Amino acid sequence: MKYDLLVHNIGQLILPKSSSQPLKGQEMKQLDIIENAALGITDGKVTWVGPDEEAASFGSSERIDANGKVVSPGLVDPHTHLVFGGSREHEHSLKQAGVPYLEILAQGGGILSTVTSTKKASEEELFDKASFHLERMISHGVTTLEVKSGYGLDAETELKQLRVVKKLKEKYPISIVSTFLGAHAVPPAYKGKENEFLKEMTELLDEIRDAELAEFVDIFCETGVFTIDQSRQFLQDAKDKGFGLKIHADEIDPLGGAELAASLNAASADHLVAASDEGIEQLSRSDTVAVLLPGTTFYLGKDHYARARKMIDEGTAVALATDFNPGSCVTENLQMIMSLAALKLKMSAEEIWNAVTVNAAHAIGKGMDAGTLEIGKAANFVVWDATNYKYIPYHFGVNHAHSVYHSGNKLWERKPYGEIQLSSAR
Ligand code: NIG
Ligand code: FE
């Protein structure tokens, strides 16, 4: 047997179960682990997985000694707002003073403040800034992610953001899925004329589809933003035009976004902090993935988190994401979200790994391509500075990634230790 690349001496190889559907409820507790494993890669694809001792005699053009470390599939971040202008640290003190998120938005700040900065920025500036944040995500183990527009709220700027995502796809050898979130907020000029605004956003859909600028359409369904009826109409129009659906659902108020997502067979319903019992039940009976964003709840300073335990116990498919954005969750670090899921959502380590790999992939229509390390799939994997998989959510707030690979190619590797200058030149 001869491989292009053989990763050997793996302490634990994490193998989420692959399926054409996301893992639901109890299935999320299953996580296969091979101790002392090896991984064979040919033409960028996984071609062999098994015990290290069997691999000892295999030939390979290149070998990587994992030194007893954990190896997992590349992480999948299924909800990010990666492309934006400016930043919002000036709103931090408002938050500290207890001004609610929707109040800051109603005063023309929040999302609308980032809209102003994004309109001002050139396409090149947005691209450079997004590249910086994307490289930080990759260095934290992400090899597949979703990126939304939504800081334009007019044709010109929304298309500018989506073109930036397309250029990121062309530049970076990873997997990026693009979502049109033109319905992210109501521009001040359209206050009271929300239907008119949504009509304009709907009119962009043909152009976006024909230019292959987005695969999914999303809407912020929330008090003071878009109603359930408006969301249903907008998403149905997008579905009719062939887009996959996502919803910012029941983040602050229980409007019925979870129910809407299930009834439209959306790929995902995201946030769900306030989802009703009925909403959770309907999700559990659907294939819609509940994408939970505990980093956002944490960063907004709230005590009440999405009811992940109830969702999983009732049979819902749960995924986790950063929601990286300049206002409600300013981190590129999905590992930090894994720790919050353990501490605040009370998810087990097995559920968490499934939620950032296979289920996250299903939430963005990549279930058959990403999130697992089965034979024939792209060899996207991370070598971790840990000897067991439970260690990573346990030790929070730092980067545990040792090296990150996409299709068998190394994208990133941390610097070796021992480089701290022990005496400084005066
Ligand atoms: O998912 N809730 C709506 N949208 C984003 C926040 C965007 C922002 O504040 O800039 C979210 O949290
Ligand atoms: Fe979001």
Tell me the per-residue pLDDT of 29-71, one tens digit each, with 9 for 90 and over.
Answer: 999 999 999 999 999 999 999 999 999 899 999 999 999 999 9
Looking at residues 10-27, what average pLDDT do you find?
96
The order of strands in the sheet holding 216-221 is 75-77, 142-148, 175-183, 216-221, 244-249, 268-271, 289-292, 317-320
Write the pLDDT tens digit of every residue in 243-263. 999 999 999 999 999 999 999
Beta-ladder partners of 226? 221
Query: Taking a C-beta distance cutoff of 8 angstroms, is the pair 323, 273 a contact?
Result: no
Output the DSSP codes for 364-419. TT-TTTSS---TTSB--EEEES-SSTTHHHHS-SS--EEEEEETTEEEEEPPPSS-
Looking at residue 425, its pLDDT comes to 59
226 lines ligand 1 (CB under 6 A): no
Contact partners, residue 178, CB within 8 Å, separation at least 6: 146, 147, 148, 149, 162, 165, 166, 169, 213, 214, 215, 216
Nearest atom (ligand 1) to Cα of 325: 10
CA of 323 to the centre of ligand 1 (A): 8
Q: Report how far residue 231's alpha carbon sits from residue 243's, in angstroms, rounded to the nearest whole number.
A: 14
DSSP class of 218: E
Q: Whose CA is nearest to atom 12 of ligand 1?
A: 328
248 lines ligand 1 (CB under 6 A): yes
251 lines ligand 1 (CB under 6 A): yes
81 lines ligand 1 (CB under 6 A): yes
Write the pLDDT tens digit of every residue in 307-353. 999 999 999 999 999 999 999 999 999 999 999 999 999 999 999 99
User: Which of 83, 94, 299, 328 has most ligand 1 atoms within 8 Å of its beta carbon, as the pocket-test mutant?
Assistant: 328
User: Which of 325, 329, 331, 337 has most ligand 1 atoms within 8 Å of its beta carbon, as the pocket-test mutant?
Assistant: 325
Looking at residue 249, its pLDDT comes to 98
Q: Report how far residue 372's alpha carbon sits from residue 68's, in angstroms, rounded to the nearest whole number.
A: 20
Matching residue, tokens 């992480």:
75
Query: Taking a C-beta distance cutoff of 8 angstroms, is the pair 219, 181 a contact?
Result: yes
Is 157 in a helix, a strand, or coil? helix
Q: Which of 78, 75, 73 is nearest to 319 (CA)?
A: 78
Nearest atom (ligand 1) to Cα of 329: 12
Write the pLDDT tens digit of every residue in 132-188. 999 999 999 999 999 999 999 999 999 999 999 999 999 999 999 999 999 999 999
231 lines ligand 1 (CB under 6 A): no
Looking at residue 222, its pLDDT comes to 97
Looking at residue 426, its pLDDT comes to 58
CA of 369 to the centre of ligand 1 (A): 28
The pLDDT confidence band at residue 424, using thresholds 50, 70 and 90, is low
Ligand with minimal distance to 329 CA = 1
Nearest atom (ligand 1) to Cα of 222: 2
Query: Taking a C-beta distance cutoff of 8 angstroms, is the pair 344, 303 a contact?
Result: no
Q: Report how far residue 183's alpha carbon sits from residue 217's, in angstroms, rounded to the nearest whole number.
A: 9
CA of 328 to the centre of ligand 1 (A): 6
Q: Report how far residue 13's alpha carbon sits from residue 31's, in angstroms, rounded to the nearest whole number.
A: 10
144 lines ligand 1 (CB under 6 A): no
Nearest atom (ligand 1) to Cα of 79: 1
